[in-house]
Amino acid sequence: MLDGKFLDRHAKVLFPLPAVLFTLALMVFPVLYTLWVSFTNWNLASGLPPRFVWFKSYATVFAEPRFWGAFVRTLYFTGIAVAAETVLGVVWALVLNREFVGKRTIKAMMLLPLVATPVAIGIAWTLFYEPTIGIANWALKLFGLQGSRWIADPDFVLPALAIIDVWQWTPLIALITLAGLAGLSQEPYESARVDGANGWQIFWHITLPMVAPAVLTAVLLRSIDALKTFDIIYSTTQGGPGFASETLNIYSYNLSFNYFRLGQAAASLVFLFALVLSFSALVARLRRRLGL
Amino acid sequence: MKKIAGKLVFALLVLFIVIPVAFPLIWILMSSFKTQVDITASPPRWLFEPTLQNYEKVFREQDFLKFFINSTIVGVSATLVSLALGLPAAWSIARFKQTKLNLLILVARIMPGIALLLPWFLIFSRLGLIDSYTALVMAHVIIGLPLVVWIMSSFFEQVPLEIEESARVDGATRQRTFLSIILPISSPGVVTATTLSFLFSWNNFMFSQVLSMERTRTLPIAVYNFVSYAEIDWGAVMAAAVVIIAPAIVLTMFFQKYVIRGLTMGAVKG
């Protein structure tokens, strides 16, 4: 019973202890390790032991046009994907925000893209995008439009990949917004109606400001994940054609596990992590500034 | 008349949501029952004679049953470990307002996976743990643990303090109170956390791609390997996609209320 009492008295420390130790061992230590590697010139392919070179790996990476290409593509992909998801998701939520027969079924259906395995989805879209046998070009022709080469076209591969991301994640923004709409108080609506506001004014001045916190959080969550997108890109193009869809995550992966240039890979990863972290901090500040 | 027109417009709008969401999944399912001739037809065929040969191929020529079992072993173990570590931690975070601790564990949520994968690969290689269940499960716990902590700490916060205090007045220890009172009250949260952490492990590709080889290969890798070889057998690929997506969908439909809550809660809470 002594053990039981000990645990009882020190619950504050002992309850979270296993989780903390695990996180230290599998996250904090590896991150510090990556940080250390980024200051070395470690290259597994050369067979030489790693040497501490301060910022030289960073300098090498930052001097590579391929890195900056990947950086721009990461922002471009995230930007178009999350923007489309937000607009579509909010519109969907507004449409569905009423009681109707089959609402539960439709909400359940919207979960399907969210839980479908991304790699399998990426591979399936490769077939949809196939120029001759794919359903995508068939649909374009149905509307009298010219077929596209989709992910095989270096100029269109990123939007084409963003479409997959939009298909998979718009439901998340819609569901979050819908949950936010469901929690709104009815009072402002009633007084607005008494004052004779029209539908658009009500949406713009009442609904939108009130759901904004929910939407903004959804956008933050999506952006963090979109900046790190891996499965969809790797399973469709692996960064190709050429480097046309190589984002920072794919670039870092290639540096690590295809070229074994660990020092440079680590430097690029530290950069990506800093990007995601500062983006999160920025949104958090924006929320506080706007009082959301 | 105007009312009917309004209803029609609404139905049309709903259709504009439903069709794009459902169609790709339906097309995958349809394609998995097509022969190579039907699937490579141009324009795509809507009517065809269904065949089971693709599924036969997936299970007979490729050892999909083994990959299926591997994915299940890793998913279940990672979920159990995540719960064992995460539940007490989440309670402590909620009860004692340990926000810094919360932040530490949630950093794992925004961390780019490769930043961990690179050192893991080096360390696990040295320890001879590449292609072991241990390494894979530990990697997947880094996905499950933040989920459990995130979801459960907000559930535990809603448990009134009085319930816990009256149990303590009766002489129950904290661990007893936790196990026999707080956890049962919060069981909807536990279901949510369990389902999501299993789904995220089931769908994970990147960690398994680097940490698993022949022995512990999971389904996402097996599906991916299908297309990386020479000529693509599209029918078999689609059947493989169905084999991996179907369990995730069945699980989600079974626990849909919990999955919706888990995916949307963080945002609404603010």
Q: Is A236 on the interface with B (CB under 8 A)?
A: no
Q: Region A202-206: what's the mean pLDDT?
A: 86
Report the sign of the C-alpha dihedral through residues B47, B53, B56, B58, in that order.
negative
The whole-number pLDDT of residue A74 equals: 95
d(CA B262, CA B270): 14
Domains of chain B by residue range: 63-269
Q: Region B92-116: what's the mean pLDDT?
A: 86
B42-75 b/e (C-beta count within 10 Å ≥ 16 → b)? eebeeebeeeebbbebbeeebebeebbebbbebb
pLDDT tens, position by position, B9-56 = 898 999 999 999 999 999 999 999 988 888 888 788 888 888 889 898
Phi-psi region of A96 (alpha: psi -120 to 50; beta: other; left: phi over 0): alpha
Domains annotated on chain A, with CATH:
65-289 (1.10.3720.10)
pLDDT mean across residues, chain A = 89
d(CA B20, CA A234): 23
The whole-number pLDDT of residue B140 equals: 95
Q: Region A213-239: what's the mean pLDDT?
A: 90
Q: Is B115 on the interface with A (CB under 8 A)?
A: yes
The whole-number pLDDT of residue B267 equals: 53
CB A173 within 8 A of CB A82: no
Q: Is the pLDDT of residue B86 over 90?
A: yes
Nearest residue of chain A to residue B210 (CA atoms): A257
Q: Region A26-30: what's the mean pLDDT?
A: 92
- Spell out which residues of chain A touch residue B174, defining contact as CB-CB under 8 Å: 7-8, 11, 15
The whole-number pLDDT of residue A118 equals: 95
pLDDT tens, position by position, B190-229 = 999 999 999 999 999 999 999 988 889 999 998 888 876 6
Q: Is the pLDDT of residue A200 over 80?
A: yes
* CB–CB contact B93 A118 (8 Å): no
Q: Region B235-241: what's the mean pLDDT?
A: 91
d(CA A221, CA B267): 9
d(CA A228, CA A74): 8
Q: Is the pLDDT of residue A119 over 80?
A: yes
Task: Say which DSSP state A258 is in.
Answer: T
ipTM summary value: 0.91
Q: Is A87 on the interface with B (CB under 8 A)?
A: no
CB nearest to B44's CB, from A135, A265, A280: A135
Q: Which of A147, A156, A173 is nearest to A236 (CA)?
A: A156
Provide the shortest C-alpha distance from residue B261 to chain A (in Å): 9
Q: Is A274 on the interface with B (CB under 8 A)?
A: no
pLDDT tens, position by position, B109-119 = 888 888 899 99
Provide the shortest C-alpha distance from residue B101 to chain A (in Å): 8
The top-scoring range by mean pLDDT among A201-205, B48-52, B75-79, B262-266 is: B75-79
Identity at B128, one-letter amino acid code: G
The whole-number pLDDT of residue A99 equals: 86
* CB–CB contact A235 B199 (8 Å): no
* CB–CB contact A27 B173 (8 Å): no
CB nearest to A123's CB, from B10, B108, B237: B237
The whole-number pLDDT of residue A243 equals: 92
pTM score: 0.92
Structure-token match 């992966």, residue found:
A253
Level-2 CATH architecture, domain B63-269: Orthogonal Bundle (1.10)
The whole-number pLDDT of residue B26 equals: 94
CB nearest to A179's CB, from B109, B118, B264: B264
The whole-number pLDDT of residue A291 equals: 65
d(CA B241, CA B219): 9
pLDDT tens, position by position, B144-182 = 999 999 899 988 988 888 888 888 888 888 888 888 888
Q: Is B31 on the interface with A (CB under 8 A)?
A: yes
- Of all residues in chain B, the percent with pLDDT exceeding 70 is 97
Q: Which of A129-133, B205-209, B243-247 has the lowest mean pLDDT?
A: A129-133
Residue B167: which residues within 8 A CB-CB, separation 6 or more? B176, B177, B181
**Most B CBs within 10 Å: which of A123, A126, A271, as the mutation test of the B interface?**
A123
Q: Is B112 on the interface with A (CB under 8 A)?
A: yes
Q: Is the pLDDT of residue B270 over 50?
A: no
pLDDT tens, position by position, A59-89 = 999 999 999 999 999 999 999 999 999 999 9
